[in-house]
Amino acid sequence: MAPMGIRLSPLGMAVFCLLGLGVLYHLYSGFLAGRFAFFMLSEPAVGGPETPRGSAPAGAVDLRELLAVSVLAAVRGGEEVKRVREGNVLNAKAKGKTREGAEEQLTSGDLLSNRRMFYLLKGAFPAVQINSEERVDTADQETVSWDRSIPEDIKQKIQPKEVPAESVTVWIDPLDATQEYTEDLRQYVTTMVCVAVNGKPVIGVIHKPFSAYTAWAMVDGGSNVKARSSYNEKTPRIIVSRSHAGKVEQVARQTFGNKTVIIPAGGAGYKVLALLDVAEKNQEEADVYIHVTYIKKWDICAGNAVLRALGGHMTTLTGEEISYTGSDGNEGGLIASINMNHKALIEKLPDLEKTSHK
């Protein structure tokens, strides 16, 4: 009961209570907010994994780590390719025809290599889009883990670099030169992994299963391979697909002269290695790589990345850069070179662009 002579109005009581609540709010809000923030920073979310030290945060990809697992994937896929070939259990069959009407071959080597490479990469980087030449059968899923170790040569040459996961596309070629593989022309066979960021190839890995040679490079990073230093732009040695040698030879000799050397070969990976300083007894050397028809992006992405990292070029026959997003095919053929005047080469070979559509 209020003292004699003093009457408390309902409005006064309400104001008094509000003032009291305001004082309590200012006293405790800072304390509670601080405790909440401390709790969120010091404890992982319930049911969620704790982020390992040194790894990229959620939504980001460390390109150095992706390079390391790409090298491992190419080697592991290559082991399957070699095992199938040496066991002579190819189980080869036609999977369709190319635009030129040639039968495309599919072997157990393609499928087993693809499964090993795809699931290794997907397990290590589940948020990254992966495009592969062969279809992935989810019913035949394989658990392939990566221990997150990075080889010393990559550690020494490449610094960590994070990019958004949604900007990354990985292109896998589990067995390049399948036709030559069925013919036991082993020197042409490679397994390849390419990483593109926003459509630009930045990591390339080319592995030769039968000699255990691996070339890798990262744009603005480093590489374990070098470009050759001796070239002759007037009479270059041009490496081409075995089925395209006749198409290219006539135009090339008209352009550069009769001394121009045409080198027929299998496999896009092999042809890019021909432009580099590769210590391989079964590796031919060339100055320019030309392809005059439609070609799939998983065939050329890794080589494109390696050349870019070393200062070289791979473009369409008209000089346009090739984007590694969207469709899986490149319509404009290609011309690749390193330590040469790439623009001058394109200007010398204007007729090849027309040839690519025949």
Q: Is 173 annotated as a binding residue?
A: yes
Helical H segments across the chain, by residue range:
10-42, 63-87, 108-124, 152-157, 178-182, 245-256, 268-273, 297-309, 342-348, 352-355
Query: Which is catalytic among the residues 169, 178, 191, 355?
Result: 178
**Long-range pairs for 226-232: beta carbons < 8 A, 24 or more residues apart:** 226/276, 226/277, 226/310, 227/275, 227/276, 227/277, 227/310, 227/311, 227/312, 227/338, 227/339, 228/275, 228/276, 228/277, 228/285, 228/338, 228/339, 229/277, 229/339, 231/287, 231/339, 231/340, 232/287
Q: Is 18 annotated as a binding residue?
A: no
Which residues, listed in sequence order, are joined to residue 288 by a DSSP beta bridge?
238, 337
Q: Is 176 annotated as a binding residue?
A: yes
98 catalytic residue (yes or no): no
Q: Could you give the CA distance from residue 199 to residue 324 in angstroms, rounded to a whole number?
A: 4
Tokens of 267: 């496999």
Query: Which is catalytic among the residues 62, 107, 110, 315?
Result: 110
Q: Is 140 annotated as a binding residue?
A: no
- What is the residue-wise DSSP string for 170-188? EEEEEEE-HHHHHTT-GGG
138 catalytic residue (yes or no): no
Q: Could you give the CA distance from residue 4 to residue 7 in angstroms, rounded to a whole number?
A: 8
Q: Is 103 annotated as a binding residue?
A: no
Give the CA count within 13 Å in the CB-facing half-sphere of 221: 31
243 DSSP 8-state letter: G
Q: Supply the residues annotated as catalytic.
A: 110, 178
The annotation places the binding site at 133, 173, 175-176, 299
Q: Which residues are annotated as a binding site for Mg(2+)?
A: 133, 173, 175-176, 299
